[in-house]
Amino acid sequence: MSVKIIILRKVPQGAEKEIKPLVMKLRAMCMQNEGYIGGETLINADDPTEVLVISSWKDVGEWNCWLASEERARIQNQIDEITGHATVYQVYYHA
């Protein structure tokens, strides 16, 4: 069963330029994973420091493999260091 992953980041003003290449690298890596379906990035209209990514995966197992990837974690840790906030992940199934 496919799943949607909600990824929420707080990106302080001025940090966008540092984070963008890291996020683009993560997206490129996802595209090489056959369990990845697609994703989109949204910015909160009321709070532009809040960035929401909706990522679609074939199943939660594929997502968990990606989440456990050491290379993904290394890049994600760099993002969290820049933002000063831990990235939040939530998994949703279709009703």
Which pLDDT value is given to residue 95? 85
Question: Residue 25 maps to which CATH number?
Answer: 3.30.70.100
Element (H, E) at 84: none
Domain count of the chain? 1
Q: Which domain holds residue 68?
A: 3-93
Give Cα separations from 92 to 20, 33, 46, 56 (angstroms).
Answer: 25, 19, 24, 10
Distance CA 2, CA 76 (A): 23
Which pLDDT value is given to residue 77? 97
Which pLDDT value is given to residue 17? 92
Q: What is the pLDDT of residues 27-82, one digit of tens each?
A: 999 999 989 999 999 999 999 999 999 999 999 999 999 999 999 999 999 999 99
Burial of 53-91, coded b for 16+ CB within 10 Å and e otherwise, reads bebebeebebbeebeeeeebeebbeebeebbeeeeeeee
Query: Above 90 in pLDDT, residue 25?
Result: yes
* Mean pLDDT confidence for 12-18: 93
**Six token digits for residue 16:** 């966008």
**Six token digits for residue 27:** 């997206």
Which pLDDT value is given to residue 5? 98
